[in-house]
Structure formats: structure tokens, C-alpha cells
Amino acid sequence: MRFKIISLHANVNKEEILEEYRLDEVRVSITKNGEYIINEPLVNDELQSMYEKLMEALFLSLKPLAEVKDPLKYMEEHIYKEAEELDLKNVQQVFPQLRYYLVRDVLGYGILDTFMKDDRIEEITCERYDRNIGVVHRDYTQFNILDSNVTFSTMDAMNSYVQRLMQRSGKSITAATPIADAVTKEGDRIMVTYGKEVSLPGPTLDIRKFPRQPFVITHLLKFNTLNPLMAAYIWLLLDAKGFGLIVGETGSGKTTMINSLMSLTNPKWKIITIEETPELKIPHYRWARLVTRSSANIVDTKFDIGIMELVKGTLRMRPDFLIVGEVRGTESYTLFQSAATGHGGLTSFHATDPLAALNRLSAEPINIKPSQQMLLWFIIHLKKVRLKGGRVVRRVMSIVEIIPKDDKVVMQEIFKYDVENDRFNIDNIKELITKSNRIKQAAELLGVKLEEDLEKRLSLINICIEKNADSIDDVFNLVQRYYDYAPSNGM
Ligand SMILES: Nc1ncnc2c1ncn2[C@@H]1O[C@H](COP(=O)(O)OP(=O)(O)OP(=O)(O)O)[C@@H](O)[C@H]1O
Ligand SMILES: [Mg+2]
């Protein structure tokens, strides 16, 4: 049989259920044992046989779906047309189920479709074809990775799945280039290996999913990733074209932080972003989006254009603000050099904490001298932490300022997170003003009265929370008020 429905079912004991929800035709159960159980529409022999015939017919007759305006509608019409031609009776009665499986397998992501549709899933991971696929759920982080009732079962099934997945994103994976990454049309990041070439016992798959509606500063404040005063503080430093670094481990929320902070900056600015994977969404009208070029797969790198080349290029583009998605090696040096030309900057750097970051930046091979380290104003440290109740959350562990002292630099901690109480050390403007040097410098550069200015920013940030400004545009519109009141400010 060429086409066969793989339908997911598992019995779940009622007492074991933590939460149950529906995603269209699917029922998802989260259990106390840390499982993610999918129950799909039931399949009987009649449905199975219709599916088989229709898949065969659709396989031969469907136009490439990329050419179709509304693929879902096109599919539905086609199902009826083919059913009529094949003289299939009872299609009407089983249409919802039939449509579900056909759409899942033709337009959707097959057996991973529920995971891809569930916006509460953050990551999908499969280390072996014969084990249950794991998922990271935004609301059940205490389990780390939830076990699902989905498995590829065979190496062949997983190999063809990863091949199809990569093709959908315009890439290819074969025994010759058995490791590759890609971005889906929804913006999720995929990393796969193929066959037994570079992974044992077979292929691996990892999908990092991003919320369909990106998190904005309001979300981060509501989550308590940072407090309103910290947001006002960073906003002021960015406005004065300070240069900041965001450090943290993989998945600690660095890119999300950069993205949400940018909605707080001057709408009139010209912003350049440089990234390897286009993840950032900047609301500014003058946004130049540069993306590195890497070959179709990560094995062949002859024609690559890297971050360093792009940073060099921006020197002549005179941005107000430059964002580099992530720096790792010697390109950091180029970035520090470019920061000296006077634009603001924000970048992320993979490091366990600010001290480790500064040490790595100043040591071989990056070698940034203290005279250049002074260009760095502040470092924000992000981390995943486990709260008392077991929930894993993302928090700004600290914000430190880099302060020139004699011929060197010193780090001064301004904000600090207290995990015991899940709160931050400072939440009032006066205390912040006594602690921070960089905000005084910023206020001077901008020609504003520090306390008054911080109050203004803080009140707008609080309005974002009160009004629940949960889209980039909502935040941007509110923040715009700051610049309306002070038209010459920060320009
Ligand atoms: N403050 C936050 N609270 C809850 N979830 C968050 C937060 N920040 C980010 N996330 C989620 O965590 C995941 C990883 O976020 P992000 O890509 O920003 O991390 P990162 O540190 O840039 O990762 P990488 O090191 O891979 O670049 C995303 O799914 C994102 O939606
Ligand atoms: Mg990132």
C-alpha cells in the first residue's frame, strides 16, 4: 500500500490529565507523567480506503501548491472532484475526517502537524527514529521535555520525512550532505541529520519554534523576565546610542530580548540588522535587513558571506543603530571597531555570564583591548532558571555596566535577580540614579533631565502593560508618544 493513514491515538487515564485542549480536530492531553498525548479522528477501513485512493489521485493531479493562492480551498474542491470521478460513496459523511488527514499529509507536516500547529510548543526533538518524539511546552517547563505518542518507527520513514521537510524549506539533504539547517515558511528553525552518515543509529531532527505572534516587551514584563524600571533604563541607554551586549546560553531568550527592545527605540532611526537566520522583526520604516549568505548546506562554504563582511559594509551605510544577531569570534572585533564610529549597537553573545563574556572578548583570538572594551556600555545576562514550584522561566539575571577605570574597564552590577523571591533588586528611579553611571552619561548626551526622563519612559512602559499592548505595532505606537513630546530628543 503506497499511502496509508498513520493515525495517532492513546488512552489516557482521566486522573492522569493535567490539561486537555483541542487543536481543530485533535485532542491534546498533557499528563502528570510529563506526556503530550495526541488523539486524532478515528479511522475505519472505509476511510482508509478512500484516503488511499484520493492520495493516489491527488498525487498525480495536484498542481504544485506553491502556485495556488488558497491551497486549503483548492484541496477541498479537489477532494470532492476526485471523489466524484472515483465514484466514492459516503464522502459527505466522512468528509471532516478525510479532509483532516489529507490536509495534514499534503499541506501540513504529516505526523508532526499537531506539534507545528500548537503555538504553545517551543521545540520538537527526535534523537532516534525508534523513540518517542519529545516536545518542549511553554506552559509545562517543569518537565523539561515532554514525551509524545509520536514516533517515526523506522529509519526509512524518518529519512524520507527529513528529506521532505528540507525540500519544503527549499533545501536538500542527502547522503552526500547529511547535515543541514533550514527555516520553515512560518519562520521556525530546523536542524537535521540524514541516514547513518553522521549520526547513529540514524537521522536526527530538531525544530525550534517561534510564537506566531512574537513576544514584545509587554509579554516579557508580564512574564517578569525583567521589571518596568529595567526596561526604562535600557531604553534610555539605547536612545543615547549606547552599545550593549546580551549574553546567555542557547535558548535563554537573547534574540527575543533584542527584538522586543527595538520597539522602544526612536521611530525615525535608520536601523541595520545583520543575522545568519532572519529572525528579527523591526518596526522602523528605515530598516535595512542584511542576512549572511551560506551555501545550500553547511558542508560547502566556498561562497559564504559572513557577519564580518556585512559589518564592514555597514560602516559606509551610517546607521543610527546596528544590530548583529549574534557574534561568536573575530567578527566581534570588527563590531567593536564599528561601534567606535558612533552608532548605537546591540548584539548577542553566547556566554554563561557577563564576566565570561568579557574574558572571552579580551582573550585570543578575539583580542579586544580595554580601550575598545570601554565602548561597551552594558551587558544584559539572560538565563533559564527553575522557580521554587519547579517551573522553568527566563529571567534577566543581571545588568552590568562597563565602566572605564584608569586604563582598564570594570564591571558594575546595576540590576540583579533574586531567584528566592523571583524579583529584582531595584524598582525605584532614585536608587537607580545613585547606582548607575551610564544613565547619567546618556541623559547628558541627550540633553534631558534624568529623573524626569526616566519617569516619562517608565510611565509609558506601564501604559504598555495596562493597555496590554501585545503586538509590535501597539508597543511602537505607544512609545512613539515619547518622541512626539520631545521631537528633538535622541535625533
Ligand atoms: N522571556 C521569555 N519568556 C518566555 N519564553 C521566551 C522568552 N524569551 C524567549 N522565549 C522563547 O524561548 C525560545 C528561544 O528564544 P530565543 O530564540 O530568543 O533564544 P536565544 O537565546 O536567542 O537562542 P539561541 O542561543 O539559539 O540564539 C523561543 O521559543 C522564544 O519564544
Ligand atoms: Mg538567538
pTM above 0.75, yes or no: yes
Instruction: Look up residue 297 and give its DSSP letter.
Output: S
> C-alpha distances in angstroms, 22 versus 19, 37, 132, 325?
10, 11, 21, 36
Asked if residue 300 has pLDDT above 70, the reply is no
| Interval 168-181: pLDDT, tens | 888 899 999 999 99
| Interval 306-349: pLDDT, tens | 899 999 999 889 999 999 999 988 889 889 888 888 899 999 99
Q: Which position has the higher pLDDT, 77 or 471?
A: 471
Distance (angstroms) between ligand 2 centre and the Cα of 161 equals 26
Distance (angstroms) between ligand 2 centre and the Cα of 90 equals 50
| Interval 382-430: pLDDT, tens | 999 999 989 999 999 999 999 999 888 999 999 999 999 999 999 899 9
* Residue from 255, 260, 307 to probe ligand 1 pocket by mutation (most atoms less than 8 Å from CB): 255
Instruction: Look up residue 437 and give its DSSP letter.
Output: S
**Ligand 2 ion: residues within 5 Å (CB):** 254-255
pLDDT value at residue 442: 97
Q: Give the lowest-confidence range in 37-46, 51-60, 61-70, 246-255.
A: 61-70
Q: Residue 460 phi/psi, 5° resolution?
A: -65, -35
**What are the structural domains of the chain?**
217-485 (3.40.50.300)
Consecutive H or E run containing 405: strand 392-405
Query: Which residue, 279, 280, 309, is CA-closest to 292?
Result: 309
Report the C-alpha dihedral over residues 52, 55, 59, 65, rounded to 10 degrees.
-170
Q: How far apart are CA 410 and CA 406, in angstroms?
A: 10
| Mean per-residue pLDDT, 447-456 | 97
Which residues are paired to 121 by β-bridges?
137
335: Cβ below 6 Å to ligand 1?
no
Asked if residue 283 has pLDDT above 50, the reply is yes
